[in-house]
Structure 1
Amino acid sequence: MNTELEKIEAIKVVPVVAINNAADAVPLAEALVEGGLPCAEVTFRTDAALESMKAMAKFGKIQLGAGTVSKVEQVKAAVDAGCTFMVSPGFNPKVVDYCVSNGIPICPGITSPTDIEMALDFDLEVLKFFPAEAFGGLNTLKALSAPYGGIKFIPTGGINEKNLLDYLRSPKVLACGGSWMVKSELIADKKFNDILTMTKQAVELADSI
């Protein structure tokens, strides 16, 4: 397993963020770092995503990943912006091939055995189970992962403080992706103290296992 994924395994929770104003990127990063989660998956869901990545990378105290990556061009832009790992909602062979060929950690989304076996062809060890709750949650993950002993997952989608521990207790789960502590409305309203508080709570919860 590469160093980026080992870092994610250590913190157990990956904040998944959508930033509408790049000016909010550094205050958000500060809140996450102070709260004990020095990591952010900045999604390509907003026009401010790339500038937000650049601002967080310049801040320099946070493990920075790009999310909602669906094109090779986005991978290139994210790497140039300072991101060190990629996360995609589905399995795009072109994106995965580019990342693997260039030594860029990639965690593609999967929902089926076919997806998992495509990932195995690229020797990937960690996959994103997305959208986790909409596809049956932990029960589905247990069934999907049973034949594939060497693979671990980062469930994302519908993960919150109420079900986080259920997922983290699974030996198949490396970490969980979540946005409950970094909701877009909290970021837009600049409620960074609230984000700090909820981040600390998420860390305490994850560390209780």
Structure 2
Amino acid sequence: MAALSPLLRGPALLPIIQADSPDEAVQIAAALQQGGIGSVEVVLRTRQALAAITAIRDALPELLVGAGTILSAGDALAAKAAGAEFLVSPASTPALLDAMLATGLPLAPGVATPSEIAMALEAGIHEVKFFPAHLSGGIEMLKALRGVFQQVRFCPTGGISQHNVADFLALPNVFVAGGSWLTPVTLVKAQAWSQITALAQQATELANQQKAAA
């Protein structure tokens, strides 16, 4: 049985939350949690992202809340101060890895090439974000990487959907699948929280079935 990840609570899913206000972020997170989700990634793409992390931590203490789109040391420190419990970046550089590691938080730096994976390994990191997953070779690329980087586990993000998430989770070197398909902008803007909960329930069932079959 695969070891538990400090980036994961509940099913092997990591939905992305992008919100314009802390209240909206809490509403999204609550809808996801009601659908069985245990971990979320709040991306630092809006002015209220850091406040959103704090608000979700306060309102939903059982939810594991991380910060995504970490691009600098400043982002990493601000995310930790806001209450983020783990960090995710879309890319990797030596300086960015050092800054993220310096926070002491669990992390999944973004990689798309063997060289970037090797750089993460040199820094002692064994869980990484594979991004953009679909454009970087998807399932076939992850299968190829497994033979070389047997100690690395991946969180594919980018191009993941309800239609292919089970295929990604079936790979032995994938420990969680991330993305925004559970929080589509159209549903967020319409405040269609029950529909987001329904999407989360469907994805949770798929993830749990895949885990049981592994």
TM tier, smaller: over 0.9
Residue 126 of structure 2 corresponds to 125
Tell me the CA shift for residue 178 of structure 1.
Answer: 1.9
Q: How do 1:68-147 and structure 2 match up within 5 A?
A: 68-147=69-148
Is 1:15 aligned to residue 15 of structure 2? yes
Q: After alignment, is 98-107 or 165-174 more displaced? A: 98-107
Residue 166 of structure 1 corresponds to 167
Q: Give the secondary structure class of the aligned counterpart of 1:64.
A: strand
Tell me the CA shift for residue 132 of structure 1.
Answer: 0.3
Tell me the CA shift for residue 46 of structure 1.
Answer: 1.5
Mapped partners of 2:76, 2:27: distance in 1: 25
Letter in 1 for 2:12: K
- Structure 1: 4+ residue segments shifted above 3 A: none
Tell me the CA shift for residue 101 of structure 1.
Answer: 3.2
Letter in 2 for 1:168: L
Letter in 2 for 1:160: S
Number of residues paired by the alignment? Answer: 207
Letter in 1 for 2:34: E
Task: Kindly indicate whether the alpha-carbon contact (under 8 Å) linking 1:53 and 1:83 is maintained by their aligned counterparts in 2.
Answer: yes
Letter in 2 for 1:27: Q
Task: Kindly indicate whether the alpha-carbon contact (under 8 Å) linking 1:21 and 1:188 is maintained by their aligned counterparts in 2.
Answer: no
Residue 199 of structure 1 corresponds to 200
Tell me the CA shift for residue 45 of structure 1.
Answer: 1.4
What do residues 172-209 of structure 1 show as CA deviations (whole Å, max 9, x unaligned)? 10110021111123222211111111111110111112
* TM-score (normalised: structure 2): 0.91
Mapped partners of 1:22, 1:100: distance in 2: 27
Tell me the CA shift for residue 33 of structure 1.
Answer: 1.4
Is 1:34 aligned to residue 34 of structure 2? yes
The 3 A distance-change label for structure 1 pair 2 and 95 is farther
Task: Kindly indicate whether the alpha-carbon contact (under 8 Å) linking 1:41 and 1:64 is maintained by their aligned counterparts in 2.
Answer: yes
Structure 1 unpaired stretches of 5+: none
Q: Give the secondary structure class of the aligned counterpart of 1:65.
A: strand
The 3 A distance-change label for structure 1 pair 93 and 41 is same
Structure 2 unpaired stretches of 5+: none
Residue 50 of structure 2 corresponds to 50
Identity %: 35
* TM-score (normalised: structure 1): 0.93
Mapped partners of 1:26, 1:103: distance in 2: 26
What do residues 147-166 of structure 1 show as CA deviations (whole Å, max 9, x unaligned)? 11111100000001111111
